[in-house]
Chain A
Amino acid sequence: MMLARKLLFAVCCAVIVPAYASDPEARAWLERMSRALSTQSYDGRFIHRSPSRAESMRIIHRVDSKGRITERLVSLDGSGREIVRNENEVICYLPDKRLVLVEKRTDSNSLVSALPVYNDALESLYRIERSGRVIKALGRKTQIIEVQPRDQYRYGYRLWLDQETAMPLKSQLCDSNGNVIEQILFSELNLHDRIPADQLKASITGEGFRWLRQDDTVAPAMAKAVIGWNVARLPAGFRLTTMRMQIIAGSPTPVGHLVYSDGLASVSVFIEARGAQAAQLHGLAKVGAAFAFSRDLDGHQVTAVGEVPAATVEAIAAGVMRQTGQPEPAAPAPTAPAAASNPQQQPATR
């Protein structure tokens, strides 16, 4: 009997494992790409193209001697918008709106923790494939890697990775039918050993603009406001990876922020008490390739945001629940894994 069981187990393994077993080379390429993106200093220009528009951008990505990343993204097409992202904050300069948004980064490790890990769990949600040969694209030798979603709740990527550097020279965001949602096409890419810090300074000062900053005086005690909220029904593969308070620039009330990830795609859920000055958001909205869906719940506004199909943010927003009967003070630790660490994820810097 024992033997029969072992045999059965072996057969199961043989059947189950190969179902998602894929080209280890393809994974290796994706890991090479991740490493290149997080360790390499570079600047370049790319076209960000969606079905409705194309926009050229400049990117300057600096990794200093301590491995800290600063990135500056500049729109070259008239609006003059810029985003500067460093260890401490993300600053969005929107000169066409005479507005500057400053987001403090509270989790210094979010950069690392957001790095996808290409393992079997991920491959149960995405098919990862490599085209067998080297393709000449954009004037360089590239390797095409496809990350195809297995259902309609997430997007995949088609990546043209530079043979020599593993940098993505062209990347397409695709839906589960393979339709291209948008693409990023590099027209120039320069790798550097060092980039002077002053190149990471925005070209505009934002003087005279309206600055929206987070109010640091918001009581940390408010952090319990996030406790008791969760998403009852999640699309396959999504799990809670982070639970935190988000202080929103220009708002005195903190906002609960839950992050759900399937290992590659992520969706944030923001929970905000409906107040006089809270933004009134309803239904579906779109920001670039990201969707947002807002609804009312129990005197709160719940918004799900992510670079996922509309159906996913809608489903997640619809699944948000407030657990009742929660003792208000001294609430026990939430049942969900509140810690920011996803057991599947490991420090990715090496």
Chain B
Amino acid sequence: MTDPVKEQLSACLDGELPEGELDLLLRQLQRDPQLRQSLGRYSLVGEAVRGQRPVCASEGFADRVAAAVAAESVAAETSGRPVRKVSSARVVEWLRPVAGMAIAAGVAAVAVISLRPAATIESAQMAATTETAGIESSEPASYTVPTNIDSSPGAAFVPAARLTNYVVAHSEFSSPLGRRTVLSGVLSDDDQNPNDDDIEVKVSGTPQSSNGGSAESQR
């Protein structure tokens, strides 16, 4: 493995890799099975994960890893080629401890949860807690830190999906306003752009009972 890639990976694990490079690295990773294999053995990862220094993934990283892992497992499932299965397993194995947390971060869009991988890592907990800090801070002090333990390898994706399942199933039994709130929550992303004050609503058309000739006039 070349040094630039090593550096990139290290930066990536620290969440310091610029967006563009991250894309590149992951694309490279997806294209190149050999790179993935060597990554599987790449000791830095183990150190970063089991070691002392906190692993903190950026949001972008989390999302992309999540997408990459999902894409990988889909590819492995559908193609059924053993080679791909191995590589997918390796990616998962490699990403697993970091990705556990990273995926949780990615999933934060769906569910703000912290995900503690099998090897209970304090640093991951720390990192994951920072992910949710924005929301946590508004909660009462007695608040339990959300914990989500996932012990089966490769299943990191499932809990969030299950929670989404529950939430969607639940929404059917909510009042219309409650449902809108709940479903918007499912759709919401982590992006922060709270700058939309003083909005004017445009209402066109007429109430149901009368005729709505002007419905399109607003366009």
Contacts and interface: CB of A to CB of B under 8 A. Distances in A.
B201 A75 contact: no
Given A37-B176, A47-B196, A97-B67, A287 B163 contact: yes
B199 A189 contact: no
A107 B58 CA distance: 41
Contacts of B112: 285-287
Contacts of B174: 114, 266, 306-307
Interface string A302-338: 0101110010001000000000000000000000000
Given A54-B194, A98-B71, A290-B167, A114 B176 contact: yes
A40 B207 CA distance: 8
A329 B169 CA distance: 28
B188 A75 contact: yes
Nearest to B164: A101
B209 to A, nearest CB: 9
B207 A191 contact: yes
B176 A81 contact: no
A2 B168 CA distance: 56
Interface string A97-138: 111010101010011001110000000000000000000001
Interface stretch (B4-12, B14-22, B151-159): B151-159
Given A270-B166, A288-B185, A283 B146 contact: yes
A257 B169 contact: yes
Interface string B185-211: 111111111111001111111111001
A192 interface: yes
A110 B173 contact: yes
B37 interface: no
Contacts of B202: 139, 187-190
A282 B186 CA distance: 20
A200 interface: no
A77 B111 CA distance: 17
B110 A289 contact: no
A57 interface: yes
B212 A288 contact: no
B82 interface: no
Interface string A33-54: 0101111111000011111111
A312 B162 CA distance: 21
A54 B179 CA distance: 18
B117 to A, nearest CB: 11
A208 interface: yes
A212 interface: yes
A280 B159 contact: yes
A251 B212 CA distance: 46
Interface stretch (A21-29, A163-171, A225-233): A163-171
Nearest to A268: B170
A140 B71 contact: no
A103 B168 contact: yes
Nearest to A288: B185
Q: Which of B150, B180, B200, B206 is the most central at the interface, judged by chain A CB atoms within 10 Å of its CB?
A: B180
B146 A266 contact: no
A42 to B, nearest CB: 8
Contact of A96 (B67, B132, B145): B67
Contacts of A78: 189, 191
Contacts of A54: 192-196
A126 B67 CA distance: 43
Interface residues of A, number: 111
A212 B208 CA distance: 37
A144 interface: no
A202 B135 CA distance: 31
A157 to B, nearest CB: 6
B169 A99 contact: no
B200 A138 contact: yes
Contacts of A140: 201, 203
B62 to A, nearest CB: 11
A227 B161 CA distance: 26
B147 interface: yes
A190 B173 contact: no
B215 to A, nearest CB: 5
Given A190-B202, A257-B169, A288-B185, 5 more contacts: A36-B207, A50-B188, A55-B187, A282-B147, A307-B182
Interface of A: 34, 36-42, 47-57, 73-75, 77-79, 81-83, 85, 90, 92, 94, 96-99, 101, 103, 105, 107, 110-111, 114-116, 138-140, 157, 159, 162, 164-165, 167-169, 171, 173, 182, 184-193, 208-210, 212, 241-242, 246, 248-251, 257, 259, 261, 264-268, 270, 276-290, 292, 303, 305-307, 310, 314
26 contacts: A52-B192, A55-B188, A56-B196, A81-B186, A81-B187, A90-B168, A97-B70, A97-B110, A101-B161, A101-B165, A103-B165, A103-B172, A159-B177, A164-B207, A185-B201, A189-B204, A268-B166, A279-B162, A284-B146, A287-B112, A287-B182, A288-B182, A288-B188, A289-B182, A289-B185, A290-B167
Interface of B: 63, 66-67, 70-71, 73-74, 77, 106-107, 109-113, 132, 134-135, 138-139, 143-152, 155, 157-159, 161-196, 199-208, 211-212, 215, 218
